[in-house]
Structure 1
Amino acid sequence: MNKIIKYVVFALVIGLSLYNAVYFESLDEHKKQQNAGVFDAKTLAAHFMASKVETLPAIDASEFLINIIKDVNNYAKSNGKKLGISDNYNFIIESNAKVVAIEDENVLIALSNSEQQIRIATDFIFGNAIRDASAVADIGNFQNTMDFNTISVELNNIVRETIIPSFKKEVKEGDKLYFKGAVKVNTKYPDLQYLKVIPLIIKFNN
Structure 2
Amino acid sequence: MKKPIKFFIITVTLVLVGYNSVYFESLDVKNTAKNAGVFNSVEFVDQFMGAKLPNLPATDANELIGSLELDLVGFTAENGRKMGISNDYYFVVEGTGEVQAIEDEDVILSLIGNSKNKIRIATDFIFGNTIREATAIANIGDFQNTMDFNAISVALNDKVRTTIVPSFSKEVNIKDTVYFKGGVKVNTKNPTLKNLRVIPLILNIE
TM-score (norm 1): 0.84
Residue aligning to 1:44: 44
**Aligned ranges 1:125-136 → 2 under 5 Å:** 125-136=126-137
Kept in 1: contact 2:99–2:174 (CA 8 A)? yes
Residue aligning to 1:90: 90
Measure, in 1, the Cα distance between the counterparts of 2:149 and 2:131: 13
Say if 2:201 is the partner of 1:200: yes
Where does structure 1 lack aligned partners over 5 or more consecutive residues? 1-20
Residue aligning to 1:174: 175
Residue aligning to 1:35: 35
What secondary structure sits across from 2:37 in the alignment? Answer: coil
Measure, in 1, the Cα distance between the counterparts of 2:189 and 2:98: 30
Give the CA RMSD over aligned residues: 1.7
Cα offset, 1:35, TM superposition: 0.8
Are residues 36 and 73 of structure 1, via their aligned partners in 2, closer, same or farther at CA, if it must alter by over 3 Å? same
Say if 2:142 is the partner of 1:153: no
Are residues 172 and 137 of structure 1, via their aligned partners in 2, closer, same or farther at CA, if it must alter by over 3 Å? same
Cα offset, 1:189, TM superposition: 1.9
Cα offset, 1:140, TM superposition: 0.8
The percent identity for this pair of structures is 50
Residue aligning to 2:72: 72
Count of residues in correspondence between the two structures:
184
What secondary structure sits across from 1:84 in the alignment? Answer: coil
Structure 1 counterpart of 2:91, one-letter code: F
Kept in 1: contact 2:82–2:133 (CA 8 A)? yes
Cα offset, 1:112, TM superposition: 1.1
TM-score (norm 2): 0.84
Measure, in 2, the Cα distance between the counterparts of 1:130 and 1:31: 33
Measure, in 2, the Cα distance between the counterparts of 1:190 and 1:96: 22
What secondary structure sits across from 1:125 in the alignment? Answer: coil
Cα offset, 1:172, TM superposition: 0.4
Where does structure 2 lack aligned partners over 5 or more consecutive residues? 1-22
Kept in 1: contact 2:62–2:113 (CA 8 A)? no
1:160-205 deviation digits (Å, cap 9, x = unpaired): 1111111110100011121101000111222222210000001111
What secondary structure sits across from 2:75 in the alignment? Answer: helix
Cα offset, 1:155, TM superposition: 0.3
Cα offset, 1:95, TM superposition: 0.9
Measure, in 1, the Cα distance between the counterparts of 2:44 and 2:203: 21
